[in-house]
Amino acid sequence: MLNKFMIAPSILSADFARLENEIKKVESAGADWIHVDVMDGHFVPNLTIGAPVVKCIRPVTKLPLDVHLMIENPEKYLNDFAQAGADYITVHIEAVKETENCLKQIQSLGCKAGITLRPGTRLDRILPYLHLVELVLVMTVEPGFGGQSFMKQQIEKINILRKEIDKNKYKALIEVDGGINIETARQCQNADVLVAGSFVFKNDYKYAIEGLKAAKCN
Ligand code: DX5
Ligand code: ZN
């Protein structure tokens, strides 16, 4: 486990008219990854951005692009996101048809594979795939919108995942997404990577990112 959190600002809360500038600002403020929320208006009741935007932002940052697919039929779009320059591609267990195939397809496209679940989905659903993935994402809000409140009942999932990963020496990093601020970050000690949208973009970026990193007690 890492001794500081890695921070993945979600560009969902950025100013899209100034996206290049926003990404450069969070990068120089210490961000580790850039989190890209892809929504299709079907899997979640909101529409955001797709692979063409990932392609545009790829050359503006050296940071890994962490693409969170909240879409139906994710299999259909994996190639587009890989070609666009995604580093991590995370799919929802509720949306994939053949989970193992899908994760292996992501890896065969040269990307790192992530698996995630809605807050209401039992952790058992993803445990059989834990040995396959580079990333497991615990949703601490209902996917679809930024700015929601952290669901603390989800912390148990983080703790169980930590035990499973350590016990079996799996490579997966644990990421948490939704309602992250300094106070809720402190409750996620067993995580490795924190996604933060509104907390980063509504505050001074450096203050927010450094504060979140330091929320890990060593
Ligand atoms: C929610 C998205 C999150 C969202 C987080 O569906 O997956 O990544 O941007 O935003 P905050 O940090 O504002 O909860
Ligand atoms: Zn997300």
pLDDT digits (tens, 9 = 90+) for 100-138: 999 999 999 999 999 999 999 999 999 999 999 999 999
What pLDDT does residue 141 have? 98
Residue 1 falls within a domain, yes or no?
Answer: no
List the structure tokens of 215.
């929320």
In a domain, 31, yes or no: yes
Q: Based on the residue annotation, tell me whether 177 is a catalytic residue of this protein.
A: yes
Specify the ligand 1 atom closest to the Cα of 39.
6
Say which residue the tokens 């992250």 belong to: 180
Pairing mode of beta strands 65-70, 88-92 = parallel
Question: For ligand 1, what atom is nearest to the CA of residue 147?
Answer: 13
Residue 167 lies in a domain: yes
Domain encompassing residue 183: 6-214
Amino acid at 173: L
Is 75 within the bounds of a domain?
Answer: yes
Which residues have CB under 8 Å from 169's CB, separation 6+? none
**Beta carbon of 148 within 6 Å of any ligand 1 atom:** yes
Q: Which three-class secondary structure string do you get for the chain?
A: CCCCCEEEEEHHHCCHHHHHHHHHHHHHCCCCCEEEEEEECCCCCCECCCHHHHHHHHHHCCCCEEEEEECCCHHHHHHHHHHHCCCEEEEECCCCCCHHHHHHHHHHCCCEEEEEECCCCCHHHCHHHCCCCCEEEEECCCCCCCCCCCCHHHHHHHHHHHHHHHHHCCCCEEEEECCCCHHHHCCCCCCCEEEECHHHHCCCHHHHHHHHHCCCCC
Look up 40 and say whether it is catalytic: no
9 lines ligand 1 (CB under 6 A): no
Atom number, ligand 1, closest to the C-alpha of residue 178: 14
Q: Catalytic one among 32, 40, 177, 192?
A: 177
Please check whether residue 87 lies inside any domain of the structure.
Answer: yes
Number of domains, the chain: 1
What is the pLDDT confidence band of residue 2, given thresholds at 50, 70 and 90? confident
CATH number assigned to the domain comprising residue 133: 3.20.20.70
Question: pLDDT tens, 63-97?
Answer: 999 999 999 999 999 999 999 999 999 999 999 99
Does 218 score more than 90 pLDDT? no
Annotated catalytic residue within 37, 40, 66, 192: 37
Query: Please, are residues 34 and 11 in contact by the beta-carbon 8 Å criterion?
Result: yes
* pLDDT the model gives residue 71: 98
What pairing do the DSSP bridges indicate for beta strands 193-196 and 112-117? unpaired
Pocket test for ligand 1, best of 145, 180, 183, 205 (most atoms within 8 A of CB): 145
**Separation of CA 15 and ligand 1 centre (Å):** 15
